[in-house]
Amino acid sequence: MLNRVLNMFRIPDLRNKILFTLFIIAVYRLGAFIPAPYVDTDAVQLMRDQANTSGGILGFVQLFSGGALTQFAIFALGIMPYITASIIMQILGVVIPRIEQWQQQGAVGQRKITQWTRYLTVGIALLQSTSFAFLFHSGALVGGIDLLPNFTVWAVFVVVLTLTTGTALLMWMGELITQRGIGNGMSLLIFASVVSTMPAQLTAVHANHGVDALIGFISVAVVLTVCIVFVEQGQRRIPVQFAKRVVGRRMYGGQSTYIPLKVNQSGVIPIIFASSVLYLPTLIGAAMPDGGIGGTVKDFVNDHLTLPTSPVYMFFYGLMIIGFAYFYTAITFDPVKQADTIRKQGGFIPGIRPGVQTERYLARILSRITLPGALFIAAVALVPSILVAVTIGTDVDAGAGAGAFNLAFGGISLLIAVGVSLETMKQIDSQLMMRNYEGFLK
């Protein structure tokens, strides 16, 4: 194993890419601890302690910011605005013909989509930074703690500008990693964010609940990791045969290949979708008054939709993950287009007629393999929550779950970390194999 690690640094080109990627990640982690202007650092410490205790919306958002949100750092928004913008552009590609044309134009169309994704990212970051500036001043999300005591127009402008610029800088850094480093830049930044929160979570569990609880959580994490690797690598291969054809004096075709349909075709996107939808009521409840109907709604949201260990939360969360898995899979893989592409290239699936029959066959296979994939990612997202509820309890007010509720997001962290690690190692392996070095994956 050590020899395989050393192989990565024996190739100058690959070594430079890895070192450049590590440098960008180090800069990102440094920016996660530099506070924004006009922020009360004492109040930030109180907010961080409260977020570690109760989780909720802060726990989810800080997962993708690597703790930068609870620091109110310059990278407080993390890469979430870019993720949201990318998802929106993919969805719009189904309903807007122009974007659909760009998706079919190859590299030229992809550049246009990337450019509009950047614009949309900046717009979303502007809205989110403005919202967080007002919410953190009012204390609606953080128990009445005012992070911006000097709440003037200039202070709000500087904070919003800082957080938006931080997101734009992160987006640029991610693209630099993709172009000059190794792996997908945006995915690696998310990977760095979620991995950076794991040691603090495990330390909090050990401090509050002892060695037995820590060993239990680590054991579950190891089992989940093995299952995630098994499912992420799983795929259904649809054989495709290309008929022979003569062009001039040459014969083309006659080859056999396959269409790889992954069991988890949608990745972690359904979890992000479901979490975002579930936290909309939390934001609405935070803005409602304490008395009357508003108070009733606010109490229901606080009791059932802000705690990852609540049965109501877990039921709706799991249901939406499964629904969004089917929805996103339908967006990313269109059986009609795939069947038409196979027909135009002179291919066919053995035993299936080209055209409508191929379309129905692909749709049926896709529907069958999406169900176990959706159930799996729902289980990965919910098992840590169930474990926390059973072993630690749900009594947040008494401090019983202090420091452990963010472990309810441990399944999301593992799914992202394992998925990004596998994709990055595949790229490193391909570089090693091209130069006749032994790779990591077999």
Q: Which of 318, 314, 281, 319 is nearest to 300 (CA)?
A: 281
- Average pLDDT of the residues in 403-424: 70
Q: Read out DSSP for 352-372?
A: S-TTHHHHHHHHHHHHHHHHH
- Is residue 396 predicted with pLDDT exceeding 50? no
- Measured between alpha carbons, how far apart are the two ends of the chain, in Å? 13
Q: Which residue has the tokens 């779950």?
A: 401
**From CA 11, how far away is CA 336, in angstroms rounded?**
44
Which range among 6-15, 46-55, 360-369 shows the weakest confidence by mean pLDDT? Answer: 46-55
- Average pLDDT of the residues in 98-118: 84
Tokens of 17: 């890419």
* Plot region of 292 (φ>0 → left; ψ -120 to 50 → alpha; else → beta): left
Give the helix/strand (H/E) hosting 259. Answer: strand 256-262
Please name the residue ranges forming H helices in 152-268. Answer: 153-180, 185-233
Which of the pair, 3 or 125, is modelled with greater confidence? 125
Lay out the sheet containing 235-242: strands in order across.
256-262, 235-242, 347-348
Average pLDDT, the chain: 77
Rounded to two decimals, the pTM is: 0.77
pLDDT bin (cut points 50, 70, 90) of residue 401 is very low
What is each CA distance from 37 to 31, 70, 160, 375, in whole angstroms? 13, 14, 10, 44
Which range among 194-203, 216-225, 348-357 shows the weakest confidence by mean pLDDT? Answer: 194-203
- Is residue 150 predicted with pLDDT exceeding 80? no
- The percentage of the chain sitting over the pLDDT mark of 90, rounded to a whole number, equals 4
Decide if 22 contacts 142 (C-beta within 8 A). Answer: no
Give pLDDT, residue 23: 92
Residue pLDDT, tens place only, 42-92: 777 666 666 555 555 555 555 555 555 666 778 888 788 888 888 888 778
**From CA 160, how far away is CA 72, in angstroms rounded?**
11
Give pLDDT, residue 354: 85
**From CA 387, how far away is CA 254, in angstroms rounded?**
54
Decide if 243 contacts 255 (C-beta within 8 A). Answer: no
- Is residue 398 predicted with pLDDT exceeding 50? no
pLDDT bin (cut points 50, 70, 90) of residue 270 is confident
Residue pLDDT, tens place only, 294-322: 667 777 776 777 667 778 878 888 888 89
- Is residue 400 predicted with pLDDT exceeding 50? no
pLDDT bin (cut points 50, 70, 90) of residue 408 is low
- Average pLDDT of the residues in 406-410: 58
Give pLDDT, residue 404: 44
pLDDT bin (cut points 50, 70, 90) of residue 24 is very high
Which residues, at least 6 apart from 425, have a Cβ–Cβ distance to it below 8 Å?
Answer: 440, 441
pLDDT bin (cut points 50, 70, 90) of residue 397 is very low
- Is residue 348 predicted with pLDDT exceeding 80? yes
